[in-house]
Structures are given as structure tokens and as C-alpha cells.
Amino acid sequence: MVWLGVLGIFLATVIYFEWHLRSLGWSPSVVDSRDLWVEQRKRASKLGGKALILVGASRMQLDIDMATLRDNTNLEPIQLAIDGTSYIPVLEELAEDPTITGTIFVSVNAYNMRKGIPKDTSVQWVKYYKAIQSKGIEPYRWINNKVVAFFNNMLVTRLEGAKPYTIISKLGFQQPTMGNYLITHPNRSRDADYNKVTMPNFYAARLQRHYGSNLVNGSVTFEKFFAIYEKAIADTKPASKETFTKNLEYLLFLVKKIEAKGGKVVLIRFPTGKLVWKVDNKRYPKEMFWKDVEQQHPMSVHFSELSGASSFNTPDGSHLDYRDKGKFTNSLINIVKEKNMLYDIKSVLPIDQVDARL
């Protein structure tokens, strides 16, 4: 009876703080772990031609609405993008696997085509996936991963995989807050709610990181801060094409390997805006750099081509707010269909029959 009483108190405490933390603005969010990535990578192989594989970094995770993609393509989207790392190791592994025969969307721009290096998360996760493939995964670990992912997705007190005590002690006694602006879902897609961040501070920090150096000494107003960066951006010269050309050649080599298996690869330039876009377009002018991408791989889409492109809201200059991702995804799929860039799915099973086998 004592243990039942203790259990009852524990459950009541968790239930109370679940309610309380949500009232403070916090929402459940899973950990974007290598095990979660491996689970999606396995699905990509099992689905074959029915898979619509998403490769890239944070923009691919934040800007694509998975349900909209599924509903409008009759394909099953698989999120393999990895935040803050090179996507090339993922594309290399996909190019080598004979089971990858469907459509792949790759988030590219002129400065993110570099090859992977040992410390990259993508290199480590691909290596882990290959080890799992060769040795298998212990049943207890598979069950544990499923249980942990379920509770992380359901409970705020398991936010980002932390222990309930940690979350309650750190967040449960705060005054009302804006909560977590970023939510990771079990399918590895992400939602960013920029109403939950302090602006223009957040945008200024993003711009500074994107530009790559601190141009401001001491304390200045935001008006002055942005004026300093705008002047520096205006004086920026285009980057050399040598490295870009070499990286593009290797990227297209991987694309051709995938196409040789019957797959399709769509290269997509995702939206950026404000001064972040000005940085991009000064260092890598669209007419100089994206022109090469389009000429060498016609199955390419630049966000400026999309219907309603001027209305896409990038509050930090680099990513879409979750309220705009459905509109962006719809517009992207419309132009992809117009250009016949999707895998021919006439001879493969419907999604519901394929999922039944997984």
C-alpha cells in the first residue's frame, strides 16, 4: 500500500507539472538522436520507390511540412536532414545503396556543398547506421528507443529527453515564459515558432553568425547594428568559383550515381530573406552560381521561382516560421510536378500497402 501511495503522489506531481509547464508555454519535443535518424534511414530502404527522401540541414527540417508533402505527392517523406552539418556523407551513403531508387530532395546553396569531415554529425551517424546494418540492433535497445521516443513526444516533463526532475526543477517554478520556440517531432521534422523568441535580438544574432564576424564594438542600437552590417554587405565581393565548381562536380557525381539506379534527385535552394539573403546574394550571386546548378542539373528549383515567394516569412532571415511551411511546401510541390521531377510511382504499391510491410 505504501508503494501505491508513493506511485500515486508521483503520478499526481507529473500530471500537475505537465499542465503547469504547458501553461507556461512549453511543448513536448523529442531528441533528434542518431537512433531516431537510423530508424528513418531504414524506412527509406524499405519503401524503395515510394520514399521521398529529404537531405540537407536545418532548413530542410524546419521548412518542409511532411503531411502536405505526403498528401500532394502520394510518396512517403523520410526526413534525413541533419542540423548544422554537411549533407554530403548522407548523399554518399544513399548513392551507394541499391535499395535507394526513389526521389531525393536535397537542400543546396553555393556555400554548403563541402564534403564531410570526421567530426561532422552526418559522418558519425552514417557510420553508426552502417554498424547497425552489419551487426543488427539488440531487441531490448529497439524496444527502449521506441518507449523513450513515445514518452518524449507526449510529455513536457521529458523535454528533449531530460529527466522529469530536471525539467520540473529548472522550468516548473519560473514566471510565465514564451517557452520553447523549436519542437522536434518523432519523424524528425521540426517546427519553429518565432513568436516565442525575442526580436530583433534573435535575428541580429543569426545575421552576425551568418556573416561570420562581429562588426560591432560596444553597445549600439539595433538600427545602428543593422546599418553597419548592411554597409559591410554592400561592399562584399563575390566569392571565388573555384571551390564551388569543384564541390558542384562532386555533388553531381553523386546525383548521377543515384539516377543510374533509376532514382530522381531534385536540388532545391530554400528561402532566405532580409540581410541574410543579401549576404548570400553578394557572396554567391544567383546569376553567377545558381546558373551553373541549373545548367548542369535541370531538376533544380530556386525559391525565387515559387508562387508567393515574396510572402514567405523568414523571421530570422534563414528559416520559415511553422505557419508558412505548408504554403511553401505546396508551392514547391506544384513546380516540382510541373517540371516532372517526381519518381514515376505507377508500378509500385500504394502507401498503405507498403506501410503494412514495415
The grid coordinates of residue 46 equal 524499405
Any residues with CB less than 8 A from the CB of 167 and at least 6 apart, and which? 17, 21, 156, 157, 158, 159
Distances (CA, A) of 183 to 29, 114, 170, 356: 5, 28, 18, 28
The grid coordinates of residue 11 equal 503520478
pLDDT at 179: 78
Task: Tell me the chain's radius of gyration from C-alpha atoms.
Answer: 22
Q: Report the residue count for the chain.
A: 358
pLDDT at 139: 59
Query: What is the Cα–Cα distance from 52 to 354, expressed in whole angstroms?
Result: 14
Question: Is residue 28 a contact partner of residue 156, using CB atoms and an 8 Å limit?
Answer: yes
Query: How many other β-carbons are positioned within 10 Å of the β-carbon of residue 11?
Result: 10
Q: Which amino acid is at 232?
A: A
Residuewise pLDDT in 10s, the chain (358 residues) = 666 665 666 666 666 655 656 667 767 888 899 999 999 999 999 999 999 999 999 999 999 999 999 999 999 999 999 999 999 999 999 999 999 999 999 999 999 899 999 999 999 999 999 999 877 665 556 566 666 666 666 666 565 565 666 666 666 567 667 778 899 999 999 999 999 999 999 999 999 999 999 999 889 999 999 999 999 999 999 999 999 999 999 999 999 999 999 999 999 999 999 999 999 999 999 999 999 999 999 999 999 999 988 889 899 999 999 999 999 999 999 999 998 888 654 444 343 443 333 3
User: Got the DSSP string for 264-328?
Assistant: EEEEEE----HHHHHHHHHHS-TTTTHHHHHHH-SSEEEGGGSTTGGG---TTSSS--HHHHHHH
What's this model's pTM, rounded to 2 decimal places? 0.86
